[in-house]
Chain A
Amino acid sequence: MLSIVFAIGMTVAVSIALNLGRDAVLQRIDETLDGFAASVAADDAPEDSFSVIIRPMSELQDLPREFARVARNGGGTVFLENDYRFSELWRAIVTEDTDGTEVLIAVPIDDSEEALELLGGVLWTTAIIVVGVALAIGLLAGLLAQRRLRRITTTLDRLARGELTARTGVERSSDDLDDLARQLDTTASELERLVAQTRHLSASIAHDLRTPLARLRAQLEMLPEGEARGAALEEAARLSGIFDTIMRVARIEAQQGTEGFDSIDLAELVDEMGETFGPVVEDSGKSLTVRTTSAATVQADRQMLVQVIANLLQNALVHGGSEITLFADGVSFGVSDNGAGVDPSQFAEILKPMVRLDAARSTEGTGLGLALVRAVADRHGAHLSLGQETPQGLRVALKFAEL
C-alpha cells in the first residue's frame, strides 16, 4: 500500500520537474528572440531560413497559418505537421524591431525539445530505479520489522495463555521496536514473579491454617465419645469446608491459560450430573428435569464445571422452588427453578463472595457458592448471567464464547 503511494509520488515529482524544465527552456528562447528582434530591422532581415523567421505582422500571409494564430496570441509554440520546408516545432513571439515595427520572430526548437526528451528519459529511468531500490529496501525492512513484531505478538499470545515464562529474548536495543520487546520482557518477568509470590503466599496460608485445623481435629477425635465431641467434630468439618472453598476460589482466580482444559460435551455433562443429583433432589421432595437443546462441546476444566453444577443445584435446593431444571443449550448451561427468585436489583450483590441476602440468613450456606461459580466463569472467559424465569424463579447460566 505504502509502496503504491511512493510510486505515484515519484511519478508526479518527475512530471513536475519535466514541466518546469520545459518552461525554463522556453522562457530562455523567448528572451533570446526578444533580444535578437531588438537588434535588427525586419525589412533588412534575410529571407526566411531554416534557422530564423522575422517579418512584420502585416506580412504573415505566406507563412503557414499556425504562425498567424500564434501571433494573435502574442507568441507561443508552433507545431507544423508534414511541412517539409520548415522544422516541425517553432517558438514564436511578437515584439518590436529596431524601427519600432511590430514583428513576429520565430526559431525552430526541435533541438531543445530533443534535449528535453532526453532529459525526460534520464529522469524517468532514474525515477524507476529509485522507486525499485526504495521498494526493495522498504520490503526488506518491512519483513524484518514484521518478523520482530510477530515475535512480540507471539510472546504476548503465550503470556495470555498463561505461559508466564514466555519472553521475546531481545537483548540489544537499537530502535523503538527493540525497546518495546525489552519492556515486554521486563513486564513478563515481573508478572511471573508476582504470580509465583501469590502462589507461594496462598500455599503458605493453606499450610499455616490447615496444620492447626488438623491438630484441632486430632484433639477432638481423642476426646471420649459423646454428643459434644460429635458436634465439635461437625463444626471443625464445616470450618475446614469453608476454608477449602475459599482456597479453591482463590486458586481458580489465580489460574491462567488453558491448563487442565479438555473438550467437554455439555449435553453429556448435564446428563451425568442429572443422574448424580437427580435422586438427591427427589429425596428432598423436589423434582429435577434435565433439558439439553443442541448442546455444544466446549474447552473447559471438567472438575470446575461439575462443581459449578453442584453449587447451583445446592442453591436451588435450599433457596429455590420445587421444580428444578438443569439445562445445556448451545454453548450455555445452568440451573433454573420456579421459586421466589431474586430481585434483579440484587443480582450483582449475590455474586460477591460471602454475601448472603437477608432472606437466606436463616438457611445453611457459606455465601461462597456463587463466588465460586463466578470464578469458574471468569476462568473460562464465559459469561455468567442471572435472570428471572417466567412466571417466577431464578435462572443462572454460564455461556461460553462461541467458537
Chain B
Amino acid sequence: MGEVAIRRPLPSRSTTERGHMRILLLEDDRQLGPWVAGGLREEGHVVDHFSDGKEALLAAMGQDFDLLILDRMVPGLDGLAVLKSLRASKNATPALFLTALGEVDSRVEGFEAGGDDYLTKPFAFAELSARVSALGRRRSTGGADTPETTVLRYGDLSLDLLARRCERQGQPIDLMAKEFKLLEYFMRRPGRLVTRTMLLEQVWDMSFDPTTSVVETHISRLRAKIDKPFDEDLIRTRRGEGYVFGK
C-alpha cells in the first residue's frame, strides 16, 4: 500500500481536502449505482462511476484513485477479476467489494483477491460511508496510527497496548479483554464513524448478526468506565448509524 502512496505526486488527483477522495465505483445496477455515487459525491468525494468491468479496469490502470468500490457481479469483467488484474500489475489501491453474494466463502474469495473490505447487499449508506472513510484513512495513515504504535493517546486518555493499561486523567481504568480491544479499535479511528457491523467483524470476529445487543452492551460498559466518571464524553452514538470516538 505504502509503495504506491509514495509514488503519487499529482496533487490534483490525491486527496485534496481532509477525507475527500477520488473513488472508482463499479456497479451496474441502475438504481444502486447512482444512489451510491450520489451519496459519496454529497460527502465531497469525486466519483467515477462505471457499469462495465472492462472499462473500470482500463480506467483504474490509467488513472490514480484513492479507493475502488467494486461490485462482484457486473457485465464484462466481474469485480473480482478486475481487482485480481490490478493486484497482478502491482496496483495497491484500497478496494472494497460490494456483493449480493453474501456468503462467507465469497468473502474469503474477495480478501484473497486482494480486497480490503467486503460489504454485503443490502447495506445502509452510512455503513458504506463508514467503511469508505476507514479505507481512505488507512491509505493516508500517519505515524500516530501504525500497528507498531505501542501507546495510543487521545486527549487525556491513553492506552498502553503492551502493558495492557488504560488511563484517563492519570487514573488507571480496569478494562475487560473485549473492552480493551473495543477501545483500541476506536482510538485508532478518532473522529470516524464506526458501525455496529464493523465492530462485530473486527472486535468480535463475528461475520453474522448475533441478534442480541452485544455491541450496545459492551459500549455502554466501556462508557461507564472511560466516560461517566469524567466531564467529557469520548464515545458518542450517532443514531441509526454507529459510534464516533473523539471529535
Contact = CB atoms under 8 A, between A and B. Distances in A.
Interface of A: 203, 206-207, 210-211, 213-219, 221-222, 230, 233, 236, 240-241, 244, 247-248, 251, 275-277, 279-280, 283, 302-303, 306-307, 310, 313-314, 317
B155 interface: no
B182 to A, nearest CB: 11
B100 A280 contact: no
Given A207-B100, A211-B29, A280 B213 contact: yes
Given A214-B122, A218-B35, A241 B212 contact: no
A24 to B, nearest CB: 81
A66 to B, nearest CB: 96
Contacts of A310: 206, 208, 210-212
A245 to B, nearest CB: 8
A203 B103 CA distance: 9
Contacts of B211: 241, 310, 314
B159 to A, nearest CB: 19
A209 to B, nearest CB: 8
Interface residues of B, number: 37
A317 B212 contact: yes
A157 B206 CA distance: 32
Q: Summarize B's interface: helix, strand, loop or mixed.
A: loop
B206 A221 contact: no
B43 interface: no
Contact of B212 (A216, A218, A280): A280
A207 B74 CA distance: 12
26 contacts: A203-B101, A210-B100, A210-B121, A211-B32, A213-B122, A215-B29, A215-B31, A215-B32, A217-B123, A218-B35, A218-B125, A221-B35, A221-B124, A222-B35, A233-B124, A247-B103, A248-B208, A276-B204, A277-B212, A279-B221, A280-B217, A302-B205, A303-B206, A306-B205, A307-B206, A314-B211
A283 B219 CA distance: 12
A255 to B, nearest CB: 9
Interface in B196-244: 204-214, 217-218, 220-221, 240
Contact of A277 (B100, B208, B214): B214
Interface in B142-198: 176-178
Contacts of A207: 73, 100-101
B104 interface: yes
Contacts of A233: 124, 240
B76 interface: no
Nearest to B176: A275
A236 B240 CA distance: 14
A211 B121 contact: yes
Contacts of A219: 31
Nearest to A260: B104
Chain A CB within 10 Å — which of B208, B218, B220, B240 has the most? B208
